[in-house]
Chains A and B, each alone.
Chain A
Amino acid sequence: MPVRIGNKKLFWLPTLLLVAMLVAPMAQARDAITVSVTLDRNSIGLDEQALLQVEVSGSSQDLPKPHIPSLPAFEIYSQGRSSNISIVNGVVSSSVTYRYLVIPRKPGEFPIDQIAVVHNNKRYKGNVVTLKVLSRGSSAPDDLNERAVDTEGESKDYFLEAVVDNKNPFVNEQVTLTLKFYIAVQYYGSPELTEPATTGFWNEVLGNKAPYYQRINNRRYKVIERKYALFPTQTGELTIGRATIRATVAGKRKRSRDPFGFDDFFGRGVEARASSRSLRVNVRPIPQENRPSDFTGTIGRFNISAKADKQQVELNQPVTLTIRISGTGNIKSVAEPALPELDEFRIYRASSSEEVSQQNDKLGGAKLFEEVFIPRLPGDLEIPGLSFNYFDPEQERFRTVTTKPIRIMVTAPEGYSSDSPVPYSPPGMTIDSRAHDIRHIKADLGKMQPVGRMPLLSVGFLLFNAVPILALVGSIMIRRRREKLAADTGLARARGAAKIARKRMAQARALARVETRSEFYAEIYRALTSYIADKLNTSPHGLTTDSIRQILNQRSTPEGLTDAVTGIITACDYARFAPASLLQSDIDQTLKDSEEVIIRMEEVKFG
């Protein structure tokens, strides 16, 4: 550093100058303002208008308003402004766009210049644009002038116009249909459109254009435009139906009766309806002359390219070739290009996709086809150029586009032998990469069964499954019965009477001997009286021969049963008090009679 120690001023001065030299242009650059002038179109009719946009941009957030010079050829009206601020890497930049409506006063070609802004005492000039104004009537054709007039010769407030750009298209060639709604009065809300019928066409809506103004018969109309791309699917004369639009417009009415003027304030409108005319289009067939044999009907203007995902692969490994066909035309109808038969490759179609776009109202885009090529042989292989044919409607001739050949270097794996190659396994398949063939047949016939046998629908299977259901139902019924008996002791005794009686009879049978005759008769007595007492839910001790007779007589007992029961009870009483006279035969007879009586008493309804 060429400074002397001790003189600090001399040391800092060059440094400050250097910094100033570096920073000043940057600051100047930061403060720089650019003015960009654009027109929405370069040519208009005398009855039309253009939109002039002036964009003022710079780093300052306080951007000045442009000065519009006096332009004798035009009337200029401000249409508002919009601003935009962006911050990129900490640097703030802003822009303001001013819009002006330009209405011509005379035909001719007029440059628009001298549009400028002044900032920090410096003038920044915009670029020059030129607007060509055509003579009156060139923009609004005669028939449009006629359409704008009703039968009484008065100018229409609104009307709907439909036009096509091509009335003699080829089949599958795009025809652009434009609907224009002209309205010269105020309207409320959004107009409702009933789309035109387009039978015989494949229809794609291109969208709406921003509203603009047009002068027809010296009246200013607002124009709302909607466009469609129509592709005829058949030849001959086709008709595009009428479109209808509905809107609520300010009505022509007499002076309002409302003294406060609310009617006018709320703008009570009337419904307006306008329909377009139907249009006829004569669709021509694609010529047969010079038509390629593999032509698939694609029409438009296209390019083709192909790209492989790898240039070097091992044998039997897939290479994905992406074929891209792009251009203008009905991209959805673009067919896959014909693939040649190649001995070196197996070819599998993987997928296809499409991207639809539009350029200047023409539909187009790109269609991608993915093909999987599996090399069968090692070496330097070539995928030849793939051709695609289409018909160019502008030139009215067939065109062929071809991809460039693609070279693939295929290496042989270790242990390679030139027997049958392995096919490609798509994802999800379980083929071993070393597989060459199907697995061999089996020697064992296996278990034979009737064709179409359905064991699950057999009666046996269904009955088998009914077993647990029956068991469950049975257990529920038993449970309920048990609970019922537990709650009603009388019923429980009545139901258990026969069982207890049978037990006593069994004990009596064991005692049916002369030596134990007293015990035998006592048991028979207890069996009978207990049975009756259980059935009546009463104590057996109070029962006598007479009371038993009375009880049985009150019920519908079979004939002779009462006598039989009372007879046995009497015999039991007798045997207990004079047992010596009884023989074994008497005992056997009493046992037999008692058993019969018990059985017969089951028929008696005691309850």
Chain B
Amino acid sequence: MAKPLVIWLPVMLLAAILVVPPASAQSEEFAMANSFYEDKDFGSAIRLYHSILDRGEESATLHFNLANAYFKSGDLGHAVLYYTRAQRLAPADEDIAFNLDFAKQFSRVQMEGVQLNPIRTFFETLVRPYQLHQLGWITSALFFMLLGALTIRISLGRGASWLRIVTAVGLVLLVAVGSLTTFKYRHDFLTPRAVIISEESPVYTGASEQSEIELNGAPGLVVEILSESGDYLNVLFENKRRGWIKTDLVARI
């Protein structure tokens, strides 16, 4: 048993070294992409940023810089897409929020008649600065606190007043933070969203080109995906208008 491990371990290590480039190589490539950006060669910068992403790893800064390059090259749809992805990884980053808002203004179509749900808006404001895993760990810590207090109470066989307080507070906080975590998970991950990336993006009343055009989308508009049928997605706009759009005209966030 020990013998095969002795043989395989160096082989696996070598393979890992060959397949996954070291962090310094990624940094060098990233720096190179940044220098292309500085030289206003946005196309080359985009290609290099993408080559880092294609290796299966991401960071908020990588998405942010890529979005900047897209914005500067005039591709508003992809700029909004990557700013949104960056924001998901670093929701409290002011630079990302600023650039995302800034870019959205340039969308040819502005949503009208947007009526925001005040409860939903309130929850969004609460969870916006946090990443999902941060909320998850806070929920987990409260879970430990609550179950720890219960375990002590059961073990001692009597409830000291401080234990009762800890249990009650732990329960309330757990329900509150747990709800926020669930909301965040649902909002960020369970609700599929996409950004319109194509200049010509007709939205039809049905899932075919023979259907009537409900409205014309524009790059940078964020839509919620309701369902899928063949090459078409049933999408819901911020102003609650909905329709069918071809899959290749949007990019999923």
Residue in contact with A438 in the complex, picked from B30, B102, B140, CB distance below 8 Å: B102
Q: Is the CB of A448 within 8 A of B95?
A: no
DSSP class of B's interface residues: helix, strand, loop or mixed? helix
Which of A429, A464, A478 has the largest count of B CB atoms less than 10 A from its CB?
A429
**CB of B101 within 8 A of chain A?**
yes
Cα–Cα distance between A192 and B246 once the two chains are bound (Å): 46
The minimal Cβ–Cβ distance linking B143 to chain A, given in whole angstroms, is: 6
**Given that A445-B26, A456-B132 are known contacts, is A468 also in contact with B59, CB under 8 Å in the complex?**
no
Q: What residues on B are CB-neighbors of A423 within 8 Å? A: 102, 105-106
**CB of B62 within 8 A of chain A?**
yes
Interface string of A96-140 (1 = CB under 8 A from B): 000000000000000000000000000000000000000000000
Q: What residues on A are CB-neighbors of B177 within 8 Å? A: none
Residue in contact with B140 in the complex, picked from A430, A449, A461, A472, CB distance below 8 Å: A461
**Given that A351-B113, A442-B64, A456-B132 are known contacts, is A435 also in contact with B59, CB under 8 Å in the complex?**
no
Q: Is the CB of B154 within 8 A of A429?
A: no
Cα–Cα distance between A603 and B37 once the two chains are bound (Å): 80
Q: Is the CB of B58 within 8 A of A350?
A: no
Q: Is the CB of A465 within 8 A of B140?
A: yes
Q: Is the CB of A441 within 8 A of B102?
A: no
Q: Which chain B residue has the least Cβ–Cβ distance from A348?
A: B110
**CB of A255 within 8 A of chain B?**
no
Q: What residues on B are CB-neighbors of A352 within 8 Å? A: 112
Q: Is the CB of B105 within 8 A of A429?
A: yes
Cα–Cα distance between A442 and B90 once the two chains are bound (Å): 14
Q: Is the CB of A449 within 8 A of B61?
A: no
Q: Is the CB of A456 within 8 A of B37?
A: no
Cα–Cα distance between A425 and B37 once the two chains are bound (Å): 27
Q: Is the CB of B132 within 8 A of A451?
A: no
Q: What residues on B are CB-neighbors of A446 within 8 Å? A: 59-62
Q: What residues on A are CB-neighbors of B151 within 8 Å? A: 468, 471-472, 474-475
Cα–Cα distance between A567 and B89 once the two chains are bound (Å): 77
**CB of A209 within 8 A of chain B?**
no
**CB of A444 within 8 A of chain B?**
yes
Q: Is the CB of B143 within 8 A of A465?
A: yes
Chain A interface category by residue count: 35 or more
Q: Which chain A residue has the least Cβ–Cβ distance from B113?
A: A351
Residue in contact with A464 in the complex, picked from B37, B106, B140, B154, CB distance below 8 Å: B140
Cα–Cα distance between A438 and B132 once the two chains are bound (Å): 27
Cα–Cα distance between A430 and B104 once the two chains are bound (Å): 12
The minimal Cβ–Cβ distance linking B214 to chain A, given in whole angstroms, is: 14
**Given that A438-B99, A446-B59 are known contacts, is A479 also in contact with B189, CB under 8 Å in the complex?**
no
Q: What residues on B are CB-neighbors of A435 within 8 Å? A: 98, 102
Q: What residues on A are CB-neighbors of B56 within 8 Å? A: 450-451
Q: What residues on A are CB-neighbors of B51 within 8 Å? A: none
Residue in contact with B95 in the complex, picked from A439, A445, A451, A476, CB distance below 8 Å: A439
Cα–Cα distance between A476 and B104 once the two chains are bound (Å): 56
Interface string of A427-462 (1 = CB under 8 A from B): 001110001001111111111111100111000010
Q: What residues on A are CB-neighbors of B130 within 8 Å? A: none
Q: What residues on A are CB-neighbors of B97 within 8 Å? A: 430
The minimal Cβ–Cβ distance linking A334 to chain B, given in whole angstroms, is: 16
Q: What residues on A are CB-neighbors of B155 within 8 Å? A: 475, 478-479
**CB of A558 within 8 A of chain B?**
no
Cα–Cα distance between A349 and B106 once the two chains are bound (Å): 12
**CB of B232 within 8 A of chain A?**
no
Q: What residues on B are CB-neighbors of A468 within 8 Å? A: 143-144, 147-148, 151
In B65-94, the 8 Å CB interface with A consists of 65, 68-69, 71-72, 89
**CB of B27 within 8 A of chain A?**
yes
**CB of A187 within 8 A of chain B?**
no
The minimal Cβ–Cβ distance linking B4 to chain A, given in whole angstroms, is: 26
Q: What residues on B are CB-neighbors of A456 within 8 Å? A: 132-133, 136, 185
**CB of A606 within 8 A of chain B?**
no
**CB of A88 within 8 A of chain B?**
no
Q: What residues on B are CB-neighbors of A465 within 8 Å? A: 140, 143
Q: What residues on A are CB-neighbors of B230 within 8 Å? A: none
Q: Is the CB of B144 within 8 A of A447?
A: no
Interface string of A174-195 (1 = CB under 8 A from B): 0000000000000000000000
Q: What residues on B are CB-neighbors of A17 within 8 Å? A: none
**CB of A469 within 8 A of chain B?**
yes
Cα–Cα distance between A407 and B71 once the two chains are bound (Å): 34
Q: Is the CB of A350 within 8 A of B27?
A: no
Interface string of B176-214 (1 = CB under 8 A from A): 000000000100010000000000000000000000000
Q: Is the CB of B102 within 8 A of A349?
A: no
The minimal Cβ–Cβ distance linking B9 to chain A, given in whole angstroms, is: 23
**CB of B18 within 8 A of chain A?**
no
Q: What residues on B are CB-neighbors of A478 within 8 Å? A: 155
The minimal Cβ–Cβ distance linking B111 to chain A, given in whole angstroms, is: 10
Q: Is the CB of A448 within 8 A of B26?
A: yes
Q: What residues on B are CB-neighbors of A476 within 8 Å? A: 154
Cα–Cα distance between A455 and B135 once the two chains are bound (Å): 11
The minimal Cβ–Cβ distance linking A462 to chain B, given in whole angstroms, is: 10
12 A–B contacts, CB within 8 A, in A order = A350-B110, A351-B112, A430-B101, A439-B95, A440-B68, A445-B27, A447-B59, A449-B89, A451-B58, A471-B151, A472-B147, A478-B155
Beyond A351-B113, A441-B68, A461-B136, list 5 extra A-B contacts (CB 8 Å): A430-B98, A442-B65, A451-B58, A464-B140, A475-B155
Chain A interface residues (CB < 8 Å from chain B): 348-352, 423-426, 429-431, 435, 438-451, 454-456, 461, 464-465, 467-469, 471-472, 474-476, 478-479
Chain B interface residues (CB < 8 Å from chain A): 23, 26-27, 30-31, 34, 37, 53, 56-62, 64-65, 68-69, 71-72, 89, 95, 97-99, 101-106, 109-110, 112-113, 132-133, 136, 140, 143-144, 147-148, 150-151, 154-155, 157, 185, 189
| Interface pairs A-B: 8 shortest CB-CB | A468-B147, A446-B61, A446-B59, A456-B136, A441-B65, A448-B57, A438-B99, A439-B95
